[in-house]
Amino acid sequence: MKMQDKIPYEPKDIEKKWQDVWEKNNLYKSEIDKTKTKMHVLDMFPYPSGEGLHAGHAKIFGASDIYARMKRMQGFNVLKVQGYDAFGLPAEQFAIKNKVNPKISTKKNTENFERQMRRLGLSYDWSRSVNTTDPKFYKWTQWIFKQLYKDGLCFESHEPINWCPSCKTGLANEDLEDGKCERCGSVVEKKPIRQWVIKITDYAEKLLSGVDNLNWKESIKEMQRNWIGKSEGAEIDFRLSTSQTFTVFTTRPDTLFGCTYCVFAPENKLVEELLNNNLINNGNEVKKYILEVKDKSEIERTSSGKEKTGVKLEGVFAINPANQKEVPVYIADYVLNNYGTGAIMAVPAHDERDFEFAKKFDIEIIELEKFEDKNEIVKKVGGKMVTKYKLRDWVFARQRYWGEPFPIVFDENHNPFVVADSELPVILPDVESYEPTGDGESPLKNIQEWVEVNGKINSEGEFESDENGKIFYRETNTMPQWAGSSWYWLRYMDPHNDQEMVNKEIEKYWGDVDIYLGGMEHATRHLIYGRFWNQFLFDKKIISTPEPFKRLEAVGLVLGEGGMKMSKRLGNVINPDDIADIFGVDTLRLYIAFAGDYHDDYTWDTKAIVGPRRFIERVWNMQYKIQTPPSLPSIEEGNSSPNIKLTTLLHQTIKKVSNDYEKLQFNTAVAQMMTFINAYDKNENIDLESYKTLLKLLAPICPFVTEEIWESLTPALSIGEGAMQSIHQEEWPKYDELQTIDKVVNIAIQINGKLRDTFSIATDSPDVEVLEVAKNREQYKKWVGEVEPKKIIVIKNKIVNVVL
């Protein structure tokens, strides 16, 4: 090519052009192809906020895009879809503030997200996209709830639950952070609310044992294990002086002889019974304390270092079953009613919390010199070994508007019935006011024409509408935001099926998710719920694999300039659109890939973007140095010409880039490509084949510019209707392991500690040969001359060190 043919690099034109061509050619459409190995690459789907995509999204989605693009080129059949997790409080709060239907704002936000993602060249099969707020999608969320319900895993409950006074809704344990509402930071209260609960605890053991075989980072696996919190101990019965018995849960039955008092959780039913029967002498004091702790959060009650409080039950003693000794009984908030049995045997000498309590209340402390054998002592006192879990059942109802309605109706006596399949989806109606009522009811409660529905109960015991039937009342709570996200990836496999959640054959082909990318904040919420639903669906033989996410990769945050979390308030949010406008999408993608280790947080630095831009321009300009036919000479063993070094470098680069992409270590892959380019670009001419290899390696990170150059290199194969030959459909470069080994090394000659010369020689040459070459060098002769060196040390493949 002649110099005057040079065209400057203009990302704007190139990127729009290829975005359109790829979409027209359906380049990323996935179909089942049994001749290929499937590869399901999944991003944690976003909540489509009004602010649009931010740099953090670009980091996660960019990582999976690079990975997926390489996998396609390696011959895998990649399934890569994006969807929207669009129910939930933010949309509703926006709706309340701006008086717009959340349906409308969600649609607008979703369109903007999709526009941005398409622009970033993310290779999703958009024909499969889903949105959790779409009735065609939530029909199946409701259907799964129905299966759980029919299996006895859902129940209605009135127990006190976490209540956020500002979001005005009940919350699951997973929605709390340090006892505060994860969303708004308010301290949660305990409030009895009518709700639906899913018995996730029935799956505690499966969720725990399943963790072991997952290819996840150990720290996340450990977080899951701790959340499930398996604890092996014993249940032992104690008798009260008032003749009732109660059971304690202890992990240390071997310390039974050290028990000097017992404690009930203030809410323990037995305390109520003792009070009702006037068996406690200081009943009023006890009642007052119960009221005091009623609204306290678990974290407030149990955090270490907090001063212990409690009240002794005057006139009541417990009898230690090991030695028949009478010990005092207390109520104290450090004992929780919903863990173990809600009662403990306290052993102050061997338990920190009991020790603090005993000190404060001046209770006897018995230090044991020897511990009993756990199993013997339990047997002796008639107890039993048991297993407990910290995991709580899943509070699965929100007293809010913007969520999936339940597929449940009640009759006039509040008996619940699940609706027949023909009634699905139960559509969320439009309302005038989205405000939560705050009294534990959702705004749906006020829409009489929706709540009341005529029908009958069919032979299956399910509700069916019937104009002439009697009145039933719809459940007015809605599902929590975690419902749709607990199974959405399964729908990607078969998104338009209106008969089944997912067709069995189709699901069998795509199977589990091969790699799942997202943020760490989901380690104990979405990833517990998602695994639970998946395991349940597997048990019901609806899907074919028990664990949904084979490999999980937690991608670090992109922090705003100055190292702070990006936030609107701080004004440090980076909108990918703005960066793409100035530098181009490829530069943005390359910057994000190169800015640091993907797994770690890193700080955005706009000044540093010129580097990636220059790199791309250099790759661009290299096309004008191509010499055809290829200038790279044949590779002969032992030939130490610089071209052999380049061939070795090329093979090393293919190897490193392939391996690094596999591990999502994009920054080191880019560094290797830079090394390669530095070496190649020194030459006057560049051979076509090496250049094409470089383009293929770079294509997953910079899909647009590589495609543009590719087209100019292979004009005969250019676009044409339906006959596109894209670089993204090319075969991934292969390397030859033998050729990755350095055949030539540089040896330094150091004389009296000073570097005087370097020369190249075949790798691993024997010391005598290295010395022979060194002694014949001009510089050696100049500095050593006729002097007999005191010492010569040869360090293999590195240095000849001469001491005169």
Nearer to ligand ANZ, 102 or 266 (CB): 266
Distance CA 57, CA 60 (A): 5
CA distances from 302 to 255, 277, 287, 337, 509 (A): 22, 30, 21, 12, 48
Report the sign of the C-alpha dihedral through residues 272, 273, 277, 279, in that order. Answer: negative
131 part of the interface to ligand ANZ, by CB under 6 A: no
Size of the site for ligand ANZ (CB under 6 A): 19
**Is there binding between residue 339 and ligand ANZ (CB under 6 A)?**
yes
CA 128 from chain center: how many Å? 21
Interface residues for ligand ANZ in 184-243 (CB under 6 A)? 231, 233
Decide: is 484 part of the binding site for ligand ANZ (CB under 6 A): no
Pair 130, 392: CB distance under 8 Å? no
Measured at the CA of 416, the angle between CA 411 and CA 422, to 5 degrees, comes to 90
Q: Which stretch binds ligand ANZ (CB under 6 A): 249-257, 269-277, 372-380, 524-532?
A: 249-257
Give 675's contacts (C-beta < 8 A, 6+ positions apart): 649, 653
In a 13 Å sphere around the CA of 424, the CA atoms on its Cβ side amount to 25
739 binds ligand ANZ (CB under 6 A): no
Candidates 32-40, 345-353, 688-696, 728-736; binding stretch for ligand ANZ (CB under 6 A): 345-353
Among 48, 90, 266, 342, indicate the residue that binds ligand ANZ (CB under 6 A): 342
CB-CB contact of 45 with 85 (8 Å):
yes
Does residue 350 bind ligand ANZ (CB under 6 A)? yes
| Local structure of 82: helix, strand or coil | coil
Contact in structure between 174 and 395 (CB atoms under 8 Å): no
Closest approach of ligand ANZ to the CB of residue 430, in Å: 45
Distance CA 616, CA 483 (A): 43
Nearer residue to ligand ANZ within complex by CB, 271 or 697: 271
Q: Which among 541, 455, 458 is positioned nearest to 500, based on CA atoms?
A: 541
The reply on whether position 250 binds ligand ANZ by CB under 6 A is: yes
Q: Nearest approach, Cβ of 764 to ligand ANZ (angstroms)?
A: 58
| Run of H or E residues at 221 | helix 218-228
List 43, 351, 423, 512, residue binding ligand ANZ (CB under 6 A): 351
Residue 344 interacting with ligand ANZ (CB under 6 A): yes
d(CA 79, CA 492): 8
Q: Is residue 249 within the footprint of ligand ANZ (CB under 6 A)?
A: yes
Site string for ligand ANZ, 618-657 (x = CB under 6 A): ----------------------------------------
Give the closest residue to 732 by CA, choosing from 80, 41, 75, 78: 75
Contact of 321 with 381, CB cutoff 8 Å: yes
Contact track, ligand ANZ, 497-526, x by CB under 6 A? ------------------------------
* Least distance (Å) between residue 342 CB and ligand ANZ: 5
Nearer to ligand ANZ, 386 or 719 (CB): 386
- Spatial distance between the Cα atoms of 156 and 307, rounded to a whole number of angstroms: 36
Residue 276's Cβ-count burial label (10 Å; 0-12, 13-18, 19+) is exposed
Q: Which stretch binds ligand ANZ (CB under 6 A): 47-55, 336-344, 393-401, 700-708?
A: 336-344
Nearer to ligand ANZ (CB atom), residue 331 or residue 686: 331
- What are phi and psi for residue 496, nearest 5 degrees? -105, 10
335 lies in the binding site for ligand ANZ (CB under 6 A): yes
Binding to ligand ANZ by residue 298, rule CB under 6 A?
no
Of the residues 56, 62, 210, 340, which one makes contact with ligand ANZ according to CB under 6 A: 340
Which span (11-19, 248-256, 702-710, 776-784) binds ligand ANZ, by CB under 6 A?
A: 248-256
The answer to whether 629 and 621 are in contact (CB under 8 A) is no
Closer residue to ligand ANZ in complex, CB, 332/695: 332
Total residue length of the chain: 804
Strands of 224-308 (E only): list them.
230-240, 245-250, 261-264
- Which of the stretches 141-149, 216-224, 342-350, 602-610 binds ligand ANZ when contact is defined by CB under 6 A? 342-350
Q: Residue 372, interface with ligand ANZ (CB under 6 A)?
A: no
Instruction: Provide, rounded to whole angstroms, the least separation between the CB of residue 262 and ligand ANZ.
Output: 10
SS3 category, 623: helix
Buried b (16+ CB within 10 A) or exposed e, 394-403: bbbbbbbbbb
> Taking the complex as a whole, how short is the minimal distance between the CB of residue 242 and ligand ANZ, in angstroms?
21
| Least distance in angstroms from the C-beta of 264 to ligand ANZ | 9
Tokens in use for 634? 């044949």
Residue 381 · residue 453 · CB < 8 Å: no
Of 114-122, 238-246, 347-355, 784-792, the window that binds ligand ANZ (rule: CB under 6 A) is 347-355
Stretch that binds ligand ANZ, among 56-64, 245-253, 540-548, 608-616 (CB under 6 A): 245-253
Q: Minimum Å distance from CB 504 to ligand ANZ?
A: 41
Of 227, 27, 19, 208, whose CA–CA distance to 118 is shortest? Answer: 19
Burial label, 616 (beta-carbon count in 10 A; 0-12, 13-18, 19+)? buried
Question: Which of 96, 100, 279, 336 contacts ligand ANZ by CB under 6 A?
Answer: 336
Task: Tell me if 679 sits within 8 A of 707, measured CB to CB.
Answer: no
From candidates 199, 252, 325, 599, binder to ligand ANZ by CB under 6 A: 252
- Tell me if the bond preceding 328 is cis, omega within 30° of 0: no
Contacts with ligand ANZ in 386-405 (CB under 6 A)?
Answer: 388
Least distance between ligand ANZ and beta carbon 297 (Å): 14
Q: Which positions touch ligand ANZ (CB under 6 A)?
A: 231, 233, 249-252, 255, 265, 335-336, 339-340, 342, 344-345, 347, 350-351, 388
